[in-house]
Amino acid sequence: MAHQSSDLTTNLVNLGQSNLSGDKRALYLKLFSGEMFKGFQHNAIARDLVMKRTLKNGKSLQFIYTGRTTAEYHTPGNAILGNSDGAPPVAEKTVTVDDLLISSAFVYDLDETLSHYDLRSEISRKIGYALAEKYDRLIFRAIARGARAASPVSATNFVEPGGTQIRVGSSTNESDAFSSTALVAAFYDAAAAMDEKGISSDGRCAVLNPRQFYELIQAVGSNGLVNRDAQGSALQGGNGIIEIAGIHIYKSMNIPFLGKYGTKFAGTTGQTSPGNTGDFIGPDLEDASAATTGINNDYGTASEFGAVSAGLIFQKEAAACVEAIGPQVQVTSGDVSVIYQGK
């Protein structure tokens, strides 16, 4: 019996193909997974680590520094009318409100109608991250500048100590900034310096680059680091170091770190780059002086920090934050006053 075979693939109806040619899946529906790849998210911590005041009906807030006074023995019969030198000396620091810090996005109504995922909630989160990141960076810059500044109390015979810079390690190598042994020694040096200045032990904290923070976690149990509050699974969860020398430790990508924000790997011995870091992950420090539009306080120029800042150790009175308008979300919905922030 004769049998004639045929190639069934040539007769197959490809329901996903457009006009019998091209991609066989071109017409199939693209399903939305319900998830989105999110931009890099930063934890905002600076506002809670410094003095924060709310400003009403004014452009600036005055903070008073009081210096030390002297003690003397009383002579019987003499009136006690105050020290002859008029101590204690008093100085001031004025914090001026910067211009309104905003982050905005325009959502076209038709796009929102046609979109099968929630636009507004995701955009609002990204706006919040942008504001928090800027907030942190400016506050941490103010603290870093304070470490390089003299005290406002400078009266003769009553000069108060200013900021202090502690070298991490004994060389100028960037790798010292990631050495757990060098970091621990720097913490104790910083604690001693604050004790010598008479700075309160309440509210002392440190903010490190994440690489430094995790380097310390790996050193728990060695280098004199013992953390009885977080061991075992908690240690593996990245919570291994609570404090050193009474200084509570935080991590942030927003501190001035070796000439950048957060990352610095080029030429750093023993550190592996995470790859294509992108502009938002480790940008160079920008100028944020009083000459910059919108800034009414001086947070310094990029050259002031250079490539030497490698972490912050401070007490909460190292900087002050003044707010006239707290963080809030506004939606225009036809309200022109929101667009122009005025009536």
Using one digit for the tens of pLDDT, what is the confidence trace for 125-165?
A: 888 888 888 989 999 999 999 999 999 999 988 899 999 99
Give the separation between CA 343 and CA 327, rounded to whole angstroms: 20
Type of residue found at 309:
S
Residues facing residue 248 across a β-bridge: 205, 243
Residue 2 has pLDDT above 70, yes or no: no
pLDDT tens, 246-257?
999 999 989 999
Q: How much is the pLDDT for 87?
A: 85
Query: What is the predicted pLDDT for the residue at 194?
Result: 95
Predicted local confidence at residue 182, as pLDDT? 92
pLDDT interval class at 1 (50, 70, 90): low
pLDDT, one tens digit per residue, over 273-289 is 777 777 776 778 889 98
Average pLDDT over residues 201-221: 87
For residue 237, pLDDT beyond 60: no
The DSSP call for residue 21 is: B
pLDDT at position 235 is 47
CB 95 within 8 A of CB 63: yes
- 227, pLDDT greater than 70: no
Q: Is 13 left (phi over 0), alpha (psi -120 to 50) or beta?
A: beta
* Residue 50: per-residue pLDDT: 92
CB 294 within 8 A of CB 300: no
Give which of 214, 209, 263 is closest to 237, Cα–Cα: 214
CA atoms within 13 A on the CB side of 328: 9
Condensed to tens digits (0 to 9), the pLDDT of residues 28-77 reads 776 666 666 666 666 678 988 999 888 888 889 888 888 888 888 999 99
Beta strands in 97-203 (DSSP E): none
Q: What is the pLDDT of residue 8?
A: 59
In this model, does residue 236 exceed pLDDT 60?
A: no
pTM of the model: 0.83
Closest to 310 measured CA to CA, from 179, 150, 134? 179
